[in-house]
Amino acid sequence: MAEKSETLVTKEEKMAEAKELFGRGSRNFCMKQYSEAADDLSACCAIYSELYGPTADECGLPYLMYAKSLTALGKDENNLIVPGEDEGEEDGEGEEDEGEEGGEEDGEAEGEEKEAEEKMKTSEGKSDENGEAKKEEPEAGSSSKPVDEPQPGPSTSTNGAGGEQAEGTEEDDDEKGGGNLEVAWEILELAVKIFEAQADKGFDNLSECYSELAGISFENTHFSEAINDYKKSLAVYEKTGKSDSRLVAEIFYKIGLCHVMLNEFDDSVKSFREACSELDKVIEQEKAKEQNDETKATIKDLEETKQEIADKIADVEEAKKTSIEEVKRELSKLMNGGGSSANGFDAGAGPSSSAGTATATNGSSSSSKSGAEKPTDIS
């Protein structure tokens, strides 16, 4: 009997410790202390995995929170390197301009995506602390050490042993950021399986998992994959029966950014307009409330956000128009014999090459205009 009692006490102590770690990790995440959050949630996951098993229902939410912390940490580390202005100057002159165009376009759109995401998280932070965190604590049971799963927390965060390498090379930092995102992806895929098995009960969290997966794809410049996962997130969210127009607007906005990066102008405009439509719903909801300083400020922010998206739509449409006109000019030159002095291959490649350059340039210009403005607040 003594042994059984001692075992029970040990289990209870582990549960209490895991709950404390989960609560602290969630708070650190809301405060954007992502490294500390990853460490706390990693330890929490290890304990709950031992108690419940790595694929139990109780593991879903802890996996999600841990993955979100790693994703945010990975993005922060990558953003220290993405701009790469110094690196661009050190590279060969032949690749400098091309690298700057692509890097600037990717970096600015990624910055906009992150700004929108952070604004949304800020608005959700209070609810996470007051309600969601409490709801998640008893279910916290994920693991950074399930069978065939990595335990990345301590080794990929900047605390502990990682802190000793804070003065390492940028290449090492890039690898750390990429490692965090890779591990977060693996954990999210496991969380997706858990929430899918929960059916209706898991729809809310499943939608968030897909959105997080899309964010990782965006960060890795896999824009088509990001679009697919954002659309999955929307499809699952619709099944919840909820109507958070602000959340839907954020997702449409991010889909629009992905299309911009792919130079899919029509699709990007369509997505941005969907985001504006959802923001209109939020504005109407706010106007229906009792008008005070807070609601008036919220309405003003929403209207400014909508206007910023409208400006992005104008930028994209201008980029599309300019791109088409550039292609027409090049075709006209060829048809009028402007390319006859060159060899056949050059003449044949002319329109395609120019069109690609014009598209990339205008896509970058559009992103540059957007990036120079006030970050879009979808929240």
pLDDT at 341: 41
Beta-sheet strands, E only, within 95-175: none
Please report, as a single letter, which amino acid is at residue 149. Answer: E
Name the helix (H) or strand (E) containing 377: none
Which residues touch 34 (CB under 8 Å, ≥6 apart)? 28, 69, 72, 73, 76, 157
**What CA–CA distance (Å, rounded) separates 113 from 141?**
30
pLDDT in tens, the chain (379 residues): 444 444 545 788 888 888 899 899 999 999 999 999 999 998 888 888 888 888 888 888 998 999 999 999 988 877 654 444 444 444 444 444 444 444 455 555 555 665 655 554 444 443 344 444 444 444 433 333 333 444 434 434 444 333 444 345 455 555 556 789 999 999 999 999 999 999 899 999 999 999 999 999 999 999 999 999 999 999 999 999 998 999 999 999 999 999 999 999 999 999 999 999 999 999 999 999 999 999 999 999 999 999 999 999 999 999 888 877 777 777 777 777 644 443 443 434 344 444 444 444 444 444 444 444 444 556 4
- Contact in structure between 254 and 230 (CB atoms under 8 Å): yes
Burial class (CB in 10 A: 0-12, 13-18, 19+), 16: exposed
Task: Check residue 213 and give its pLDDT.
Answer: 97
Angle, vertex CA 47, rays to CA 42 and CA 50, nearest 5: 125
What are the boundaries of each domain within the chain? Answer: 10-193, 243-379
Selection from 84, 75, 106 nearest residue 176 by Cα: 75
